[in-house]
Chain A
């Protein structure tokens, strides 16, 4: 079945550091890929998505590129801020299937 493996946390970085959170997936066919974020005390919200190979999703300075050859969708940001502290979830949705399959989440803490 479909699965998502993401970088174990927690991750602690200083403000303005470069961020990478790794995500790889296993799926038949051609899934869409997502990053969701959960800020403290809030619900899950979509951060960015990519629906086909080589697509780059971007939002709020975050980027992720859909790499079919390595089955990866790593999340990156060039300069993190304290306000980026949250839990980040990588997820996929396979063609013809409505449900999202999530990774276990990575807790990110940015210190000033």
Chain B
């Protein structure tokens, strides 16, 4: 079946522009996560949704970062007034539920380059 998909796969933005990154989770998955992966580093948690409720946004680095999942399916991560330090791969993951036994399935990521 279809996995987690993300679009666009690559995005180049000029400093100061706003960007929107989309995540389509696996159908029926309740939980959705966003991670940021800088070059040569491991992914770092940004935010987490259970259905449409954003239950944890402790990893969002600034108030320029905003995520939503209005109907409990597709999610969008928006970055306002992009800065060079925002350049990274943004990963989306989804899982069936919240128990430790549920695996997080990752999408291919969106590589954002801010020039």
A contact residues vs B (CB 8 Å cutoff): 4, 32, 36, 42-46, 49, 51, 89, 91, 93, 95, 98-105
- Tell me which residues across on chain B come within 8 A of A98, comparing CB atoms: 31, 33, 48, 55-56, 98
Contact B33 A99 (CB under 8 A): yes
Beyond A43-B4, A51-B101, 5 extra complex contacts between A and B, CB < 8 Å: A43-B107, A43-B109, A99-B45, A102-B43, A105-B42
Contact A104 B100 (CB under 8 A): no
Q: Report the separation of the CA atoms of residues A93 and B27 in the bound assembly, to the nearest whole angstrom.
A: 23
- Tell me which residues across on chain B come within 8 A of A4, comparing CB atoms: 42
Q: A43-B106, A51-B100, A51-B101 are in contact. Are A100 and B45 (CB under 8 A)?
A: yes
Q: A44-B43, A44-B91, A105-B42 are in contact. Are A100 and B101 (CB under 8 A)?
A: no
- Tell me which residues across on chain B come within 8 A of A44, comparing CB atoms: 43, 91, 93, 106
Interface membership of chain B positions 57-87, coded 1 if the CB is closer than 8 angstroms to chain A and 0 otherwise: 0010000000000000000000000000000
Q: Report the separation of the CA atoms of residues A95 and B45 in the bound assembly, to the nearest whole angstrom.
A: 16
Contact B41 A46 (CB under 8 A): no
B40 within 8 A of A: yes
- Tell me which residues across on chain B come within 8 A of A51, comparing CB atoms: 100-101
Interface membership of chain B positions 80-115, coded 1 if the CB is closer than 8 angstroms to chain A and 0 otherwise: 000000000001010000101101111111000000
Interface membership of chain B positions 1-21, coded 1 if the CB is closer than 8 angstroms to chain A and 0 otherwise: 001100000000000000000
- Tell me which residues across on chain A come within 8 A of B40, comparing CB atoms: 104-105
Q: Report the separation of the CA atoms of residues A44 and B43 in the bound assembly, to the nearest whole angstrom.
A: 10
Contact A95 B106 (CB under 8 A): no
Q: Report the separation of the CA atoms of residues A102 and B44 in the bound assembly, to the nearest whole angstrom.
A: 7
